[in-house]
Amino acid sequence: MKPKSLPAFLSGLLILWLSSAYVFAFELKVVDQNGEPVNNAFVALPEGSIAQPNPEPAIMDQVQVKFVPHVLAIEVGQAVIFPNSDNIRHHVYSFSEPKQFEIKLYQGVPKTPIAFNQPGLVALGCNIHDSMLGYIYVSPWPEFQVTGESGMATLSKPTNTVAVWHPWIKGLTEPLMIDLTPQLEQNLVTITLNLNKPKAPKTFKSFKKRYDD
Amino acid sequence: MTDISLRNKILFLFLSLIIVSSVTTISAVLLATNNSVEEQAQEKLAVGQRVFEQLLDIRAKQLFESAEVLTSDFGFKTAVLGKDQSTILSVLNNHGARIGADLMMLASLEGQLIASTDQASQQQGHFPFKALLPEAEEGGGLMRTVMLTGNAYQILMLPIKAPTIAAWTVVGFQINSQLAKQLKDLTTLDVTFKGIDQSNRTFEISTLSSEQDHEKFMNAGDDAWQYMTLNQQNYLALVTSLVNTEHYKVDAILRTSLDKAFAQFSSLKIQILTISSIALALSVIIGFIIARNISHPVNTLVSAAQRISSGDYSGDILDGQYKHNEIGKLASSLSLMQKGIAEREDKILHQVYHDTLTGLANRISAQQQIDRLLKQTLNSTDSVALMHINIRHFKQVNDTFGYQVGDQLLVSFSQKLTALSGDQYQAVRLGADEFLLLLQGSTEADIIAMVSSLSHQLIGRYHIGELDIPLSISSGVSIYPIHGNRTDQLLRRADIAMNEAKSQKQTVAFYQAGADEKHLKQIRLVNDLKIAIADDLLVMFYQPKLDLRVKKITQVEALIRWFHPELGFISPDEFIGLAEQSGLMPSLSRWVIRHVLKDAAEWKQQGLELAMAINLSAYDLVYDDLPGYVHDLLVEHSLTPTSLILEVTESAMMENPEQALKVLNQFKADGITLAIDDYGTGYSSLSQLKSLPVDELKIDLSFVLKLDQNKADQAIVQSTIEMGHNLGLVIVAEGVENRASWQLLEGWGCDKLQGYYISKPQSATDFIQWFQHYDVLSEYPESPHT
């Protein structure tokens, strides 16, 4: 993932800084069935609760007809701002169970952030750009991360169970609870996900081809 | 093989060729047309099928695009992803109606039916296409032909994305007659959709009125050509399977009417048939004309040939118009043949009417010419004469100089005749040495003068090569009308006159009245004589011979007598001459010998031992077999040779002395007595007489009849008796008619007497009676009876 906008770059730096703060942290690596590091995986320590959510709204940007980041993780009760960095309008919506909303055609930064008070997965779309797809995972647990291109995640302490979600796991709306017990003695805990990379956005041509077959 | 005229044969051949070629052409065209129609129909169907499939694709695209737009609609999404069932159903109805969908369904990701515009599934709460979900998930959607509650639909199963797949929606369009009609309009093919499901529910959508062949189609394979009849129409059909699962099956049947396709060609067919019919009719006419053109001259030739065979050689064989072809050549050949036949027939005719050697007219043409001449002179006072000419002694010329010279003599004679007659007369060769001149004169005297003149000119010496041959003729003349008025009559009378001239050794003799009747009588007598010999109508008379030496009747001379039933007594001189001339002599002589020996045998039985004297003619001596015949008869009747005496005239022996001598010697050898008859009338020399094997000599009665009165006769008879005795011959005197002659003869030593004074010839019965009473001694009164 190569951030093309300044806010994205800054948020990346912040994450690096935070992770380096815990020197004795519990490190995990998320890989796919081929052993490749997995990007955009939501990794959480499934314990505790959030009494006071972060008052700062999170940012789900729209850059070059894409949601950036592709997967955003927030605390339950936290708000998200959907700025539009493109010079075209977008119509952001969600029909997901935890939060249904829409921000009708707009440019620039909307005035009011949208609060996500229910934990769970929220799929984001743009009504006028079908190819745009983004996810917000509203976490009920205070400790969570989204993996970068290295697939690495760091938790503050070792744990027997970790919650993992990834958009390419088919039909998955709730995080997977992965038992790490067998791996606790190891230096690096590896989480292997079976991913189905979505096919290219369908067009009629491809449909037609399939129909013919 | 029955007789078929040449014309019909040609016509038949011609028509056969035309018909065969016409039928072949028509068949080929019709076959090609049919093939073409079927090929076109198949091609049309194949093209139609491709168009049909493309149309279905295009329709699928359109449906897909409509459905996709629909499912992407935010309001639609908002509504169907809501919780309110009735709202969802109304949205399905509403938005389905927007794109003309006949079926709308909404199902969860797990395949649970959320809502359906199809009442059955809505009530059952069952999503009928759940089985298709994995495929739809795989492909991000699908399109399929399905059957649902007995109807066929084209359905699209599309995901509702929010933005991830939140639900599945089904948009269906019924396959109905409108679709079929649209497809028909575009493909020009009749379109039928047929379906059947597992519950045996069927549907049928067709641009055709009705179908009865459902089962057949259901069983047919994909993409198979089908020929079928529907509502009395012929169709070619192609079946395309749209879907075929274990639950249901839907086919699309494309059809094109063969009848209509053929209908396009029906006018072509009619044209071809019309043209062929006209061609055939023209061919018949042309064939007829050609056949006639060939058969007409042939028929003309046939009639010409028939004309020639009937003897008509005039006229052309053919008109000029066929000069240069085979018929013309045949005609000219026939013409040459006609000419040749005519020439040869002329030649033959000439030969029929002319003599080949001399070139003169022959007997056949002579008769025609005489007929013509008589007809010409019928109404005039002119006389016509037939001069029948015979070359005398011609046989001697042939014998002496050979036939070649004889022929040359005939030719020279003919040339002379022709030269003399000129235009005035006509010369005819009747036979070997006999010619005929036809003379014409105003009076009888003219003709006599002409005949005289001609005769003198014809006689003379003829130069044949080195030879100089004297020639004399005997000619007889008959004159029309005084000697007759018919051709055969005149010819016969000229012949009679000629014979008269010949026998009289004259150059010319004119026909004497009555000669013809005599001639005719002779002919009759010859005929009757044949009958008389065959039927024993002749009788033998016997005249005794008195042997003066023993004063007894020792012999009789048998004399033939003929009493003709109509003509009365016929003199032997007359009929024996005729018998000699007509070749009857051998049979007549044998008849006589047979009869006489039979009488002799009878007499012998009665005790009469008399020697029989029989006269032989010169003609009897020609054949060698007579002695054998006589010998056999003697044996048969048990008679001795001495009981037979054969009398032969001098002249008979002189005709062919060698042959006569041969036969006589044979008789002599058999012991038969031979006598020379009529001695003194012939020209036999004494030296000849000396060499003859005879025993008796009969002095001709001409010297004896008047012996008592004629001194010359007395001298001849006396010296003959003396000479005969000196030669050792027995002398018989014939014609003794009185006692004086008898006494003279007896005085001179004559051995035997015969004559009326002793007895006339009598029949056998009379003779026997006379013989029994005759007493020779009564002639000698001075001598005493013993």
CB B519 within 8 A of CB B496: yes
- Position B165 scores a pLDDT of 85
Residues A44-52 have a mean pLDDT of: 89
| pLDDT, averaged across chain A | 82
pLDDT number for residue A213: 38
Q: Is A132 an interface residue toward B (CB < 8 Å)?
A: yes
Q: Determine the Cα–Cα distance for residues B425 and B423; give it in Å rounded to an integer.
A: 6
- The minimum CA-CA distance between A89 and chain B, rounded to whole Å, is 16
Judge whether B95 and B148 are in contact, CB under 8 Å: no
What proportion of chain B, given as a percentage, has pLDDT over 70? 95
Question: Would you state the pLDDT for residue A6?
Answer: 63
Does A208 have pLDDT greater than 50? no
Cβ–Cβ of A123/B61 closer than 8 Å? no
Rounded percentage of chain B residues whose pLDDT exceeds 90? 18
Which of A16-30, A113-127, B679-693 tops mean pLDDT? A113-127
Asked if the Cβ–Cβ distance from A95 to B72 is below 8 Å, we say no
- B461 vs B472: CA distance, rounded Å: 9
If you count them, how many residues does chain A have?
213
pLDDT tens-place string over residues B639-649: 999 999 999 88
User: Does pLDDT of B703 surpass 60?
Assistant: yes
- Distance, in Å, from the CA atom of B480 to the CA atom of B475, rounded to the nearest integer, reads 17
Give A210's contacts in chain B (Cβ within 8 Å).
Answer: 139-142
Q: CA angle, B645 as apex, B643 and B649 as ends, to 5°?
A: 175
Q: Flag whether pLDDT at B785 surpasses 60.
A: no
**Per-residue pLDDT, B782:** 65
CB contact under 8 A, B57 and A171: no
Compute and round to an integer the Cα radius of gyration of chain B: 71
Are A202 and B163 in contact (CB < 8 Å)?
Answer: no
Give the pLDDT confidence score for residue B730 in this predicted structure.
93
CB nearest B139 (choices: A95, A130, A210):
A210
Give the tens place of pLDDT for each residue, B241-286.
Answer: 888 888 888 888 888 888 877 777 778 778 878 888 888 888 788 8
Q: Which two three-digit tokens encode residue B486?
A: 């018919």
Q: Which residues of B touch A208 (CB under 8 A)?
A: 57, 60-61, 64
Choose, out of A92, A95, A137, A204, the residue to mutate when testing the contact with B (most B CBs < 10 Å). Answer: A95
- Pick from A51, A56, A96: nearest CA to A80: A56
Q: Please name the helix (run of DSSP H) or strand (run of DSSP E) that holds residue A133, with its range, or none.
A: strand A129-139
Task: Write down the number of H helices and E strands in chain B.
Answer: 25, 27
Mean pLDDT of chain B: 84
3-state SS of B754-776?
A: CCCCCCCCEEHHHHHHHHHHCCH
Q: Which of A123-127, B463-467, B641-645 has the lowest mean pLDDT?
A: B463-467
Question: Helix or strand or coil: residue A96?
Answer: coil
CA B594 remoteness from chain centre: 56
Q: CB–CB of A87/A123 below 8 Å?
A: no
- Residue A211 predicted with pLDDT over 50: no
- Map B622-683 to HEC letters: CCCCHHHHHHHHHHHCCCCHHHEEEEEEHHHHHHCHHHHHHHHHHHHHCCCEEEEEEECCCC
pLDDT-derived band of residue B151, with 50, 70 and 90 as boundaries? confident
Closest in A127, A199, A204 to B64, CB measured: A204
From first CA to last CA, the distance across chain B in angstroms is 109
What per-residue confidence (pLDDT) applies to B560? 92
How far B162 CA lies from chain A's nearest CA (Å)?
6
- Nearest-by-CA chain A residue for B142: A211
Contact in structure between B90 and B75 (CB atoms under 8 Å)? no
pLDDT recorded at residue B449: 87
Confidence of residue B681 (pLDDT cuts 50, 70, 90): confident
Q: Which of residues 122-181 of B touch A (CB under 8 A)?
A: 139-143, 161-164, 166
Domain extent listing, chain B: 39-258, 311-351, 354-513, 523-778
Q: Is the pLDDT of residue B223 over 60?
A: no
Minimum CA–CA partner of A132 in chain B: B163
For residue B462, give the amino acid letter.
Answer: Y
Domain B39-258: CATH superfamily, name plus number: PAS domain (3.30.450.20)
CA-nearest residue of chain B to A126? B163
pLDDT at A212: 45
Q: Which domains, from first to last, does chain A contain?
A: 6-212 (2.60.40.420)
CA of A162 vs chain B CAs: smallest distance (Å): 25
The pLDDT, as a whole number, for residue A8 is 61
A95 contacts B81? CB cut-off 8 A: yes
Least confident span in A180-194, B523-537, B661-675, B729-743: A180-194
Do the domains B523-778 and B39-258 match in fold?
no
Q: What's the pTM?
A: 0.46
What tokens were used for B125? 């709460």
Q: What is the pLDDT of residues B487-536, one digit of tens each?
A: 888 888 888 889 888 888 888 888 887 777 777 888 888 888 899 888 88
Q: The domain at B523-778 falls in which architecture?
A: Alpha-Beta Barrel (3.20)
Residues B577-632 have pLDDT tens digits of 888 888 888 889 999 999 999 999 999 998 888 999 999 888 888 888 899 999 99
Contact A133 B109 (CB under 8 A): no
Question: Which residue from A123, A132, A206 is facing B162, i.e. has the nearest CB?
Answer: A123
Q: How many residues does chain B have?
A: 786
pLDDT (average), residues B50-66: 83
Q: What is the structure's pLDDT at B746? A: 92
Contacts of A50 (CB under 8 A, 6+ apart): A75, A76, A77, A139, A140, A141, A142
Listing DSSP states for B489-518 in one string gives HHHHHHHHHHHHHHHHT-SEEEPPTTHHHH
What's the pLDDT score for residue B597?
93
Minimum CA–CA partner of B110 in chain A: A171
Distance CA A41, CA A44 (A): 10
What is the token pair recorded at A185?
């003695």
Any B CB within 8 A of A196 CB: no
Look at strands B611-616 and B644-649 and give their pairing. Answer: parallel
| Chain B residues closer than 8 Å to A96 by CB | 162
Indicate the range of B91-95, B128-132, B238-242, B515-519 predicted with least confidence: B515-519
pLDDT band at B399 (very low <50, low <70, confident <90, very high): confident
Nearest to B72 among A94, A123, A130 (CB): A130
Contact A48, A83 (CB under 8 A): no
CA angle B466, B470, B473 (to 5 degrees): 140
Query: Which range (A92-101, B61-70, B451-460) has the least confidence?
Result: B61-70
pLDDT given for residue B217 in this prediction: 47
Mark yes or no for CB contact A204/B68 under 8 Å: yes
For B545-612, the DSSP string reads EEETTTTEEEEEEEEEEEEETTTEEE-HHHHHHHHHHTT-HHHHHHHHHHHHHHHHHHHHHHT---EE
Mean pLDDT of B680-691: 73
Q: Is the CB of residue A89 less than 8 Å from the CB of residue A69? A: no
Q: For B74, which of A96, A124, A127 is closest by C-beta distance?
A: A127
* Top-confidence residue, A212 or B550: B550
Buried b (16+ CB within 10 A) or exposed e, A162-183: bbbbbbebeeeeebeebebeeb
A207 interfaces chain B, CB cutoff of 8 Å: yes
Chain A residues inside the 8 Å CB shell of B139: 207, 210-211
CATH class of the structural domain B354-513: alpha beta
Please list every residue in chain A whose beta carbon sits closer than 8 Å to the beta carbon of residue B134: none
